[in-house]
Amino acid sequence: VIRDFENNRIIVPNSVISSDLLVNAHIGEEKNCRMIDIGIGYSSNVERALEIMKEEVANHPLHIDGRSTEDIDNNVPLVTARVTALGDSSVNLRVWAWAKDSSDGYVMMCDLLQSIKKRFDTEYIEIPF
């Protein structure tokens, strides 16, 4: 059993290890992490964009605290956002958002894409196309 970055568990049966893969989001722990990736223009304020993404996640009603007790003790922030790449036409950003299960995770991700886009528009952070 392998756990992926969205906290899903991947089970690779011995009989089909070389030809098949199964992802089961409902075995054991159901907590789900959604990675939300957005590219912004090179002239946009990266620090402000990261803050907006973190604020929107933290304020979403379906977001839960996905940190471990050890993370909390070590003052790991509630929401993490990072620059993940410098693309040809955008600075790529990622924020991690935790939900109680994959269904809530999907709804939360869709809501966050919309609310982050709205905030970016308000604060003149460009999403290139």
Q: What pTM was computed for the model?
A: 0.80
**Tens of pLDDT, residues 12-70:** 777 766 676 555 555 566 899 999 999 999 999 999 999 999 999 999 999 999 999 99
Domain that holds residue 24: 1-30
Q: What CATH number does the domain containing 112 carry?
A: 3.30.70.100
The CB-based long-range contact list for 112-119 (8 Å cut-off, 24+ gap) reads 112/34, 112/36, 112/56, 112/57, 112/60, 113/36, 113/38, 115/56, 115/60, 116/36, 116/38, 116/52, 116/53, 116/56, 119/52, 119/55, 119/56
Whether residues 23 and 45 share a domain: the answer is: no
Whether residues 4 and 37 share a domain: the answer is: no
The token pair at 101 is 């299960």
Q: Tell me which of 65 and 2 has the higher pLDDT.
A: 65
Whether residues 22 and 42 share a domain: the answer is: no
What would you measure as the largest C-alpha separation in the chain, in angstroms? 54
